[in-house]
């Protein structure tokens, strides 16, 4: 992982951790994030992580195992700390991905 990617991911994770996730709506109340949304495009978000060039992401990186994903690991769609008011695909990916801590 590059230093730039690490610091981007760590910064995003820290921002979400300090702001808390309790205010986010349930995925049922959220519209799916459009891949053409300007923020989504800036972070290379896709609904299907398997479509991402292997040089950009590790094979085990999915929204569902990202610290920013507000749902359970088996949820198809859930909220994300990066995209307030929108649901992201559990099988999706973006460049802000940061690993969830093991419990």
Instruction: State the pLDDT confidence band at 30, using cuts at 50, 70 and 90.
Output: very high
The string of pLDDT tens digits covering residues 31-40 is 999 999 999 9
Burial (CB count <10 Å: 0-12, 13-18, 19+), residue 21: middle
**Whole-structure pTM value:** 0.73
Report the distance separating Cα 46 and Cα 40, nearest Å: 8
Give me 49's structure tokens.
């992580």
Pick among 2.40.240.20, 3.60.40.10, 4.10.490.10, 2.40.240.10: CATH of 3-89: 4.10.490.10
Identify the pLDDT of residue 67: 98
Instruction: State the pLDDT confidence band at 12, using cuts at 50, 70 and 90.
Output: low
């Amino acid at each position: 992982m590059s230093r730039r990617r690490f610091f981007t991911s760590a910064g995003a994770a820290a921002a979400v951790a300090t702001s808390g996730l309790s205010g986010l709506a349930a995925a049922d109340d959220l519209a799916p994030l459009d891949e053409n949304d300007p923020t989504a495009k800036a972070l290379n978000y896709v609904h299907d992580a398997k479509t991402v060039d292997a040089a950009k992401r590790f094979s085990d990186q999915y929204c569902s195992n990202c610290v920013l994903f507000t749902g359970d690991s088996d949820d198809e769609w859930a909220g994300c700390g990066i995209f307030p008011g929108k649901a992201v695909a559990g099988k999706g990916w973006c460049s802000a991905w940061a690993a969830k801590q093991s419990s």
